[in-house]
Amino acid sequence: MSEITVQEAKEIIAQEIENLARRNKEPEWMTRIRNKALEAFERAPHRDPIISEEELLQFIAKPEIEGLPDHIESLDDLPPEMKALLDRLGISEVEQKYIAGLAVQTDTGVIYNQFLQEWAKKGLIVLPMEEAVRRYPDVVKKHFLQMFQADESKLTAYHTAVWNGGIFLYVKEGLKVPFPLHLFFLIQESALAQAPHIIIIAEPNSEFHLIEGCTAPVLVKHSLHLDMTEAYIGDGARAQLTVLQNWPEYVHTRPMTRARIGKGARFINTTVGLGTGRSNIANPKYWVDENGYVELNGIILGQKDWYVDLGGEMYLRGRGAAGINASKAVIMDESTVITRGVIRAEAPKTKGHISCDALLMSDRAVMETYPGLVSRVDDAELSHEAAIGKIREEELFYLMSRGLSEEKATQLIVKGFLEPMLKDIPMEFLVEIRKIIELAVSGGM
């Protein structure tokens, strides 16, 4: 990748905005949002601890991948290497026949998108974000960038200027989707910025589970996954978002997620980071109304010299609102994991808990945790706990005395440590996750 100046990068981004608007037949209001974000980039603060402003500008979003077909009827039409990647993510042939929807985004293009017509008629709408902007402009305009400000950071400004791809998910009031929906992001090119925008709208008393998978071939270097998710969970709705990450070490990931949880609604957000590269969860926020509930689960496997920074800020703003922010990390080699969590109790009878557990597998591994509890009422119940340590020798000795090798005993302890947080992962994915954990602990990755 050749070096470019800041001014050259800005000119390329401006041209990319024009290309996106023309190719996507974008309405003027969306193009205006992009151009305002590009203007905001210069004055927006830069808070990323890893990527400099100059490096950020190098990640120029590209519209498509050469050599991919324009239209795909089934998974058999995918390029062999891409189908192999999906198989490694755990999507079995049997499951592919039963799930009603599957969307795959490779770099910046959604290339496979199939949904049963009967579910669309029932009120399940899943569209590429570009198509949703054209078909449902009023709905998208009402929800697009309503939880973010383009000028709050260089990351949000950059994403807003060049967002490309992503999914619009709408679940009609009262509709309960009985199968998981799947969304996959694959980066196949170095020096690429993949910036999908995801809008989730769960109407009152609806239910769904969205599984997002992220990966890239091991040869991809110095790429950026900069997704933004805005979730609107209506009163009484039940929503799950599970993110499975298996990025190579040179991929920078900057997920930005924010959600509004309505009265009596539940939102469970689980992130499984088996390959996290250089990851920094960019200022996630969750607003919880009366008797609403939010649960953030972070499962991190740190290897090599990876750097992972994750957390979330909850605002318990309705009476009886509750939230849990829990993380478990297995940290190996010279990797660093930092967890941050803030819970703000702003209404009576609210409850919140932060927990962080970590296994250090190396003397050079680093774990830092920064919990924050803020109460503006006198009857809130807020708590936090943390436990950081190594595998106890007596546990290892006991398992080895039962005939296990040290490697197998270590694998068993690590899997047992992480297992409680994996309870809601579908079995097809769970098998693959366990395989990756075994390989990592044994040094096979």
Of residues 246 and 394, which shows the higher confidence score? 394
DSSP for 124-137? EEEEEHHHHHHHSH
Look at residues 250, 297, 291 and name the one whose alpha carbon lies nearest to residue 270: 297
- Is residue 88 predicted with pLDDT exceeding 50? yes
For the ranges 247-251, 313-317, 318-322, the lowest mean pLDDT is seen at 247-251
Contact between 77 and 158 under an 8 Å Cβ cutoff? The reply is: no
* Burial tier of 423 (Cβ tally within 10 Å: 0-12, 13-18, 19+): exposed
- The neighbour count for residue 29, using CB atoms within 10 Å, is 12
pLDDT tens digits, residue range 141-182?
999 999 999 999 888 998 999 998 888 999 999 999 998 888
Q: Where are the beta strands (DSSP E) in 190-288?
A: 193-194, 197-202, 207-215, 223-225, 228-233, 238-253, 256-261, 266-280, 285-288
Q: 273: which strand partners? A: 245, 300
Confidence of residue 191 (pLDDT cuts 50, 70, 90): very low
* The predicted structure's pLDDT at residue 232: 99
- Please tell me the total number of residues recorded for the chain in this structure: 445
Of residues 190 and 196, which shows the higher confidence score? 196
Structure-block tokens of residue 217 = 């071939």
Contacts of 222 (CB under 8 A, 6+ apart): 1, 58, 190, 191, 250, 252
* The predicted structure's pLDDT at residue 6: 66
Structure-block tokens of residue 112 = 């496979």
Contact between 299 and 269 under an 8 Å Cβ cutoff? The reply is: no
Domain segments of the chain as ranges:
6-283, 392-445
Q: 371: which strand partners? A: 341
* The predicted structure's pLDDT at residue 117: 66
The label of the residue with tokens 């024009």 reads 18
Contacts of 407 (CB under 8 A, 6+ apart): 441, 442
Q: Residue 146 in 3-state DSSP?
A: coil
Contact between 224 and 255 under an 8 Å Cβ cutoff? The reply is: no
pLDDT tens digits, residue range 7-16?
777 787 888 8
**Helix H or strand E segment including 307:** strand 307-316
* The predicted structure's pLDDT at residue 10: 76
Structure-block tokens of residue 219 = 């040869």
Q: What is the mean pLDDT of the chain?
A: 82
Look at residues 430, 428, 434, 432 and name the one whose alpha carbon lies nearest to residue 98: 428
Contacts of 121 (CB under 8 A, 6+ apart): none
Q: CA-CA distance, 181 to 99, in Å (whole number)?
A: 7
Of residues 281 and 255, which shows the higher confidence score? 255
Q: Residue 316 in 3-state DSSP?
A: strand
Radius of gyration of the chain (CA): 22
* The predicted structure's pLDDT at residue 409: 92
Structure-block tokens of residue 371 = 């919990």
pTM of the model: 0.84
Name the DSSP letter for residue 120.
Answer: H
Confidence of residue 94 (pLDDT cuts 50, 70, 90): very low
